[in-house]
Amino acid sequence: MDSPWHVAHTRPRAEKKVAEYFRREGWAAELPLYPSVKRYRGKRLTFYKTLFPGYVFVRLNPEQIPAARQNQHIANLLVPPDPEEFSAQLDAILSGLRGQLEVRIAPEVTEGRRVRLVGGPLRGVEGIVIERSKSFEVLLRLDFIGQAAAFRVAADEVELI
């Protein structure tokens, strides 16, 4: 069985340094990134920004925790109160990113209709929807840190719960 997820709350603008440290140590770490396209003097550049600023997710065994806490870029190491729920929520968000769905930061979970996705890379995932013209934005939450990501999906890929 995999080690439980921990949430590294990082110092400002240190997420990539912390993720790289975890990977150098050989620990399974996730730093959800999304593409941001900017145009400069006729050139189109793509930058990858952190989806949840200030947070890196890492799987740690109990004996690895002291070493993780020693990193100067980590402000705090948090343990989700419900590891299974947190893992399911994080896996859903990572699936959406791997599926290259359009995503935007949604720092606060808003009220809306609950749906289950019936198609695409997020099939079977439940979320909260905000209607937008011919498509939907579905909020996938990380309740433990009070954050969410909104993925754009086709209207025929959702069903009301």
Of 3-12, 75-84, 116-125, minimum mean pLDDT range: 116-125
**Domains: count for the chain:** 2
Over range 117-143, report the average pLDDT.
79
The closest of 30, 7, 52 to 149, measured between CA atoms, is 52
Task: Tell me the C-alpha distance between 7 and 1, whole Å.
Answer: 19
- If you write DSSP's letter for every residue of 32-77 in order, what string do you get? -EEEEEEEETTEEEEEEEESSTTEEEEE--GGGHHHHHT-TTEEEE
Considering the domain boundaries, does residue 85 fall inside one?
Answer: no
Q: In the prediction, which pLDDT does 1 show?
A: 60
The angle at the Cα of 110, spanning 104 to 113, to the nearest 5 degrees, equals 100
Q: Are residues 99 and 35 in the same domain?
A: no
Q: What is the pTM of this model?
A: 0.76
* 110 has a pLDDT exceeding 60: no
56 and 101 assigned to the same domain = no
Q: Which of 31, 52, 79 is the last residue of a domain?
A: 79
- The tens digit of pLDDT for each residue in 147-161 reads 989 888 877 677 777
- In contact, 9 and 58? CB cutoff 8 Å: no
Separation CA 45–CA 36 (nearest Å): 8
Q: Would the pLDDT of 133 be above 60?
A: no
| CATH number for the domain harbouring residue 64 | 3.30.70.940
Residue 108 reports pLDDT greater than 50: no
- 124 vs 130, higher pLDDT: 124
> Is the domain of 19 the same as that of 57?
yes
DSSP type of residue 18:
H
Identify the domain containing residue 123 by its residue range: 90-160
Query: Tokens at residue 4, please?
Result: 């439980």
In a domain, 113, yes or no: yes
Q: pLDDT tens digits for 68-99?
A: 999 999 999 999 999 999 999 999 999 999 99
What residues are paired with 141 via a beta bridge? 148
- For the chain, the maximum distance between any two Cα atoms, rounded to a whole number of angstroms, is 51
pLDDT in tens, 17-27: 999 999 999 99
> CB under 8 Å to 20, separation ≥6 — which residues?
none
Q: Looking at the structure, do residues 46 and 22 belong to the same domain, yes or no?
A: yes
Last residue of a domain, one of 47, 79, 111: 79
